[in-house]
């Protein structure tokens, strides 16, 4: 059996790969920022601020000034804001990816539809044969019953998994109706007993 030619989703959209790459990039950045936020949270509380007079004296003596970093609260606030923006951007990107994947799947389904319909027609023809055989069994069952014999005897039992061959609401009738609705067969191809 030869492989079925079905394009991959990524091949059905020009922008999906770029959007997914950006999604990965943003997700990784969120993880980095979150880890950074946890590390700052583990730091000891801020040291007391440097006395301005001591800083001036240290500068006159040629000593490097004390490093000025934002307070723990300022750094956590900044990271919280960055994380919030990143998460919102990721949410927007996820929505764009959903839309692009939907478009790509429509392209993919359109590509596959002719082969699907061809195979569904083959399947429906086979089911029509099953239905015809079921009708023959039903005919025999009716004749046996008309002769006064119990048709439910073990060696005269008919298959019931496919339903009655005259039940317009049975499983075969529903399947044929769905196949016709999908365009795989014409409504006139549905066996008359099941229409």
* Residue 4 pLDDT grade (very low, low, confident, very high; cuts 50, 70, 90): confident
Q: What's the pLDDT score for residue 50?
A: 65
pLDDT at 157: 60
For residues 93-112, give the mean pLDDT: 95
The rounded mean pLDDT for the chain is 86
pLDDT band at 68 (very low <50, low <70, confident <90, very high): low
For 156-170, write each residue's pLDDT tens digit.
Answer: 666 677 778 888 898
Q: Is 154's pLDDT higher than 70?
A: no
Going by pLDDT thresholds of 50, 70 and 90, the confidence category of residue 155 is: low
CB 193 within 8 A of CB 135: yes
Instruction: Output the pLDDT for position 46.
Output: 61
User: Do the beta carbons of residue 10 and residue 17 sit within 8 Å?
Assistant: yes
Residue 30 has pLDDT above 70, yes or no: yes
58 vs 37, higher pLDDT: 37
For residues 6 and 108, is the Cβ–Cβ distance under 8 A? yes
What distance, in Å, lies between the first and last C-alpha atoms of the chain? 35
Tell me the average pLDDT across 139-160.
Answer: 72
User: What is the structure's pLDDT at 164?
Assistant: 82
Helix axes 72-146, 171-182, angle to 10 degrees: 120
Residues in the chain: 195
pLDDT of res. 152: 61
Spatial distance between the Cα atoms of 155 and 36, rounded to a whole number of angstroms: 76
- Tokens read off for 156: 């005269």
């Amino acid at each position: 059996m030869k492989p079925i030619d079905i394009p991959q989703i990524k091949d059905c959209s020009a922008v999906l790969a770029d959007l997914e790459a950006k999604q990965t990039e943003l997700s990784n950045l969120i993880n980095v920022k979150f880890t950074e936020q946890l590390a700052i949270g583990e730091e000891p509380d801020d040291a007391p601020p440097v006395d301005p007079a001591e800083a001036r004296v240290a500068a006159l003596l040629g000593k490097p000034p004390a490093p000025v970093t934002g307070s723990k609260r300022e750094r956590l606030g900044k990271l919280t804001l960055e994380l919030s923006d990143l998460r919102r951007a990721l949410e927007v990107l996820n929505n764009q990816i959903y839309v692009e994947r939907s478009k790509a799947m429509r392209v993919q389904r359109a590509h596959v539809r002719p082969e699907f319909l061809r195979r569904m027609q083959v399947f429906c023809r086979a089911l029509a044969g099953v239905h015809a055989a079921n009708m023959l069994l039903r005919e025999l069952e009716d004749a046996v019953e008309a002769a006064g014999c119990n048709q439910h005897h073990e060696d005269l039992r008919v298959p019931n998994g496919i339903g009655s061959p005259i039940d317009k609401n049975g499983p075969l009738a529903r399947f044929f109706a769905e196949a016709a609705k999908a365009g795989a067969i014409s409504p006139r191809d549905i066996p008359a007993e099941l229409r």
